[in-house]
Amino acid sequence: MAEHQDHAGDHGQAFYVKIWAILLVLLILSVLGPIIAPHVAFGFLEAWMITLMTAFGIALVKAYLVAANFMHLNVEKKYISYLLATMLMLMLLFFAGTAPDVMEHKGQNWENVAAAAEVERALEAEGKDPHGEHAEGHDDAAH
Amino acid sequence: MSTTRPIATTRSATGIPTGKLAVWWVIGSEIVIFGGLLASYVMHRLGHPEWAEYASHTNTWFGATNTFVLLTSSLFAVLAHHAAEQGDGKKAAKWLLGTCAGGLVFICVKAVEWTGEIQHGYTITANGFWHFYYTAAGLHGLHVIAGCIIMLIIANDARKGKELHRVELIGIYWHFVDIIWIFLFPLLYIAK
Amino acid sequence: MAEAGTAETHGAHAHDAHHEQGFWSKYIFSTDHKMIAMQYMFTGIVMALIGGYMSYAFRMQLAFPGQSVPGYGLVSQGEYNALVTNHGTIMIFWVAMPMLIAAFGNYLIPLMIGADDMVFPRINRLSYQIFLVSALVLIGSLFVPGGGFGGAWTAYPPLSSSAEYSLTPLGSTLWLVAVALEFVAFLLGGINFITTLMNARAPGMKMYDIPMVLWMIVVASVLFMASVGPLIAGAVMLFMDQVVGTGYFDPGRGGDPILWQHLFWFFGHPEVYVVFLPAIGIVAEIICTFSRKKLFNYKLILYTVFATAIISFFVWAHHQFVAGIDPRMANVFTITTLIISIPIAEMIFLYIATLYGGSIRLTTPMLWALAFIAEFMIGGITGIFLGASGSDIYFHDTYFVLAHFHYTFFPIAIIGFLAGITYWFPKMFGRMMNETLGKIHFWGTIAAFNSIFIPLFILGTAGQHRRIYNYQNFPDLADMQGLRVFATTALLVMLAFQAVFLFNFFYSMFKGKPAGKNPWKANTLEWTTTSPPPHGNWAELPNCYRGPYEYSVPGREEDYWPQDVPPDTAPAE
């Protein structure tokens, strides 16, 4: 992780290049994640969990590094960070309020027949496909 | 349009320069635009197990290349800001041109990638996943293009040593566009 | 506080104040915030007249179905839908928003904080120009082949997403483009407002010295900015559905129509408060000035504003109780909806406490301000029936809903605007409006307004649904035609009374009594410059020494104490 210095003016070019190098290492890790996941999976730690961590966990770290060091949020007034965090929270709120209706296809006394039928139809159509639902381990698309 | 800047613009009751404060608010409003789109995508993705198969046809290497390109251009943008802080407009302009070139490469990679996908029949109307794939990446691409155009204007000013504070502003915007891509990459390419 | 200091004089840009400007640069391409405010206001008034004309056409159709409407002609079914849809769209997005936020925001923010302009004058101009284009696109959408969009202002898919159902392939796309452009315009404007208030305040103006109306306009801008994002994303998706042929809102293709409703109302409900807050902020200024009292508990009012703003993000799905959302979520949204009435009620109580014991002067702006409180209360109280999911199942989509939101939006958009314009008219044009004509207009409008919508409450409770072309086809509702005719007649009366206002407005603009700097003896900074203010607003920008509501301070001869008067000196004049 980057060391925290007090002022943006103290950062030299070398510092920025270092952050960039860390970002690249993280990028490589996130690309390799789905490839190596099946090999390191053991016990409760399944391959999809590792992929999830390498994909989205690393994305969060990368976003933090860019925001803190390149956008200089770490030396900006605190309320700017609060402002941006509030906007993100609003999106969580939107997700929380909407997902029960859109992500689910049935609930208390209701059922989204059309959407459920489409899921079933598509899954059936894919049954013939060699990729099936196990595409997680594939590093590359067929095309 | 040679209006003099009003006194209001030079005031700073918050301690943050006016332009920078406005850029933060722009980014705040962009977060909710992309947030709305990506939240919609995620809830569909989780509700539709069949999309995993559709997503497997995206090419991770194109995505990774573009991530690399954007990260590097972000580095150039912050180096431009560094140069501008030291009052070196010419150097700042050079770094900005480098950033712009990154944006251009990004768009070119996208063009090649999309051409291949469309030729294989994965058009925007193919199914829900591809709707979101093209819309989200397209909206992001528009931001890249807009950023490049603004950056060229600012680089031209910076070259003459004018409006150097704007180098930082376009940089902040560019890093934000970079961050959006950092999230689009796993959402559209890695999660399969 | 990093201030630029008191050394700021107008000398820095004196040249463009005295520079003779041509017609185009003065009226059309001006970057002066006052001129841009005027542009917004006049565009808003024109759009209000168009929206009013639309309501005239479809109300006539309802009262006298199938007969040719004088001044319009025969209203066909498709035209009826387009009229209803565009009446709603225009009144909310092209009347309430530009007049309350953009016009008053542009006019008041720099003047009330003692600045010479907005911080980004050219972005301000761009914002208006985009807004104007959006208005033209919307009006144009009514005249394209196939007719204007008729799928209601909420634009629910599939009616909005597929020309197969809406039958208006071009009209609905142009409608959507117009709305999206309008959002872009207000995003630019809103960022300008927020930044200006945060950064460009006069030296000495602390957070709690800011006039309440500015707080409310800026909180409204923040609300707008934070809520409109998902709808912009949704508009992009809907546009793709219409033009490219995607299926975002088609469950048969993996999409979901409910998603649009969530995207829309996530914006749509905060939007109510986006227009409500500036209106009630205007009311705050007026009741302080005309009751000669300090605003009762400034900070508490401010907290109710914040509470309203925050809770407004948690209530959106109460518009969707019958749309097929999960009943468990409906419970949550019922509770949050009832909770939001608490800060608003608190705010109203504080206003009434401000009036209590004041020396009230019933001028025209004061009448409008009091009417705002009274009429909005009716709107708020009828909202409780709709916020509770149980009763909403019966009331949903009836005329009860329609009457309810007209009792909120009419006070906001029309009464709030008229309160503001009658109060700041002397500042804007340097002349007083005629009080007698103002009062005639007031009583005519208020009486007619209530006569329009109280019958509609009755029709709604009787089960009359909205958006129906001809109620004669419904045997259960046909015998209530008398109420519909009554409401339509009241509408005609109300529209007729607006002629009084327009006459008063334009007559006073040129022939009114000269107003002088401070006709109402108010405290806030805009009254310390000449009326109308020059380009740059002040020869020397003022400093701020106290809060905006120092009325009837004990021990002072004058009952007001302007913000720019240094302490321990005799009051000006």
Q: What's the average model confidence in pLDDT over C338-356? A: 95
DSSP assignment of C242-295: HHT---TT-GGGT--HHHHHHHHHHHHHHHHHHHHHHHHHHHHHHHHHHHT---
pLDDT score of C110 more than 50: yes
pLDDT score of B5 more than 90: no
Tokens of C529: 């410059």
Taking only residues 10 to 29 of chain B, the set having a beta carbon closer than 8 angstroms to any beta carbon of chain A reads 14-16, 24-25, 27-29
Q: What's the average model confidence in pLDDT over C283-312? A: 95
Beta-carbon contacts of C361 under 8 Å, excluding residues fewer than 6 positions away, are C290, C291, C292
Decide if C39 contacts C29 (C-beta within 8 A). no
Tokens of A69: 């060091």
Identify the bridge partners of residue A110 per DSSP, sorted by sequence position. Answer: A107
For C372-426, the pLDDT digits (tens) are 999 999 999 999 999 999 999 999 999 999 999 999 999 999 999 999 999 999 9
Contact B35 A94 (CB under 8 A): yes
Which residue is closest to C318 within chain A, CA to CA? A97
For C222-250, the pLDDT digits (tens) are 999 999 999 999 999 999 999 999 999 98
Residue C230: what pLDDT?
A: 95
C12: contact with B, CB 8 A cutoff? yes
Residue C525: what pLDDT?
A: 94
Domains of chain B: 18-190 (1.20.120.80)
Task: State the chains in contact with A (3 or more Cβ–Cβ pairs under 8 Å).
Answer: B, C
Confidence of residue A3 (pLDDT cuts 50, 70, 90): very low
Task: State the chains in contact with B (3 or more Cβ–Cβ pairs under 8 Å).
Answer: A, C
Is the pLDDT higher at A2 or at C386?
Answer: C386
Mean residue pLDDT of chain A comes to 80
A21: contact with B, CB 8 A cutoff? no
Q: What is the DSSP letter of C432?
A: P
Chain C residues touching residue B13 (CB < 8 angstroms): 1-3, 198-201, 205
A99: contact with C, CB 8 A cutoff? no
Name the range with the highest mean pLDDT among A27-31, C246-250, C499-503: C499-503
Q: What's the average model confidence in pLDDT over C137-156? A: 93
**Helices first, then strands: H and E counts in chain C:** 19, 0
Chain B residues touching residue C237 (CB < 8 angstroms): 37, 40, 131, 135
pLDDT score of C454 more than 50: yes
Residue A32: what pLDDT?
A: 87
Residue C8: what pLDDT?
A: 42
Task: State the nearest Cα–Cα gap between C547 and chain B, in angstroms.
Answer: 17
Tokens of C466: 């909205």
pLDDT score of B92 more than 90: yes
Q: Is C8 left (phi over 0), alpha (psi -120 to 50) or beta?
A: beta
B145: contact with A, CB 8 A cutoff? no
Per DSSP, the three-state class of C103 is helix
Most distant CA atoms of chain C, gap in Å: 76
Residue C10: what pLDDT?
A: 41
Q: What is the ipTM of this complex?
A: 0.94
A86: contact with C, CB 8 A cutoff? yes
Question: How many C-alpha atoms does C9 have within 13 Å on its Cβ side?
Answer: 4
A93: contact with C, CB 8 A cutoff? yes
Residue C570: what pLDDT?
A: 52
Residue B8: what pLDDT?
A: 87
Q: Helix C33-63 to helix C77-89 angle, to the nearest 10 degrees?
A: 150
For A34-44, the pLDDT digits (tens) are 888 878 777 77
| Mutation for testing the C interface, residue in B14, B16, B18, B131 having most C CBs under 10 Å | B131
Residue B9: what pLDDT?
A: 87
The structure's pTM equals 0.91
Q: What's the average model confidence in pLDDT over B163-173? A: 93
Tokens of C498: 């607006």
Decide if C180 contacts C133 (C-beta within 8 A). no
Confidence of residue A11 (pLDDT cuts 50, 70, 90): low
pLDDT score of A6 more than 80: no
Chain C residues touching residue B48 (CB < 8 angstroms): 254
Give the domain ranges of chain A: 10-76, 80-127
For A90-99, A131-140, C352-361, C510-519, which range has the lowest pLDDT when averaged over its residues?
A131-140
Chain C residues touching residue B54 (CB < 8 angstroms): none
Cross-chain CB nearest to C248 (options B7, B13, B131): B131
DSSP assignment of C459-493: HHHTTPBSS-S-GGG-HHHHTTHHHHHHHHHHHHH
| Mutation for testing the A interface, residue in B43, B132, B184 having most A CBs under 10 Å | B43
